[in-house]
Amino acid sequence: MARRCPFCYEKVHKLASVCPHCHRDMAGQSDSSQKRPGGIGLCSGVVMGLMGIATGALAVILVGFLKERQKWEES
Ligand SMILES: [Zn+2]
């Protein structure tokens, strides 16, 4: 059961993740992309949300810290 490389169309082992002929990455070109429909979108959405919360919290902390430092420098 060999499949063909989508780039050079040479026969490649079905479990190969890199084509031995043109050395291009074949991962996600066939069945692996069908296993997770919409999973990536949900995951990246959660990650983006967490990133937004994290950066927001960091900005608040940083601004508060700078204000406190200004007070210390003024007094
Ligand atoms: Zn190839």
CA of 32 to the centre of ligand 1 (A): 18
Residue 22 has φ and ψ, to the nearest 5°, of -110, -5
What pLDDT score was predicted for residue 72?
87
Compute the distance between CA of residue 22 and CA of residue 50 in angstroms, rounded to an integer: 39
Looking at the structure, tell me whether residues 46 and 30 fall in a common domain: no
Q: Please check whether residues 4 and 14 belong to one and the same domain.
A: yes
Q: Which residues, in sequence order, are bridge partners of residue 18?
A: 25
Same domain for 13 and 28, yes or no, is yes
Question: 2 pairs with which residues across the strands?
Answer: 13
Distance from the alpha carbon of residue 29 to the mean position of ligand 1, in angstroms: 12
pLDDT of residue 37: 57
Please give the DSSP secondary-structure letter assigned to residue 16.
-
- Whether 11 and 28 map to the same domain: the answer is yes
Q: Report how far ligand 1's centroid is from the alpha carbon of 40 (Å).
A: 26
> Are both 42 and 72 inside the same structural domain?
yes
- Cα distances (angstroms) measured from residue 72 to each of 58, 66, 68: 21, 10, 6
**What pLDDT, on the 0 to 100 scale, is given for residue 43?**
78
For residue 46, give its domain range: 37-75
How much is the pTM? 0.36
Give 10-residue mean pLDDT values along the chain (75 residues). 89 91 80 54 84 94 92 83
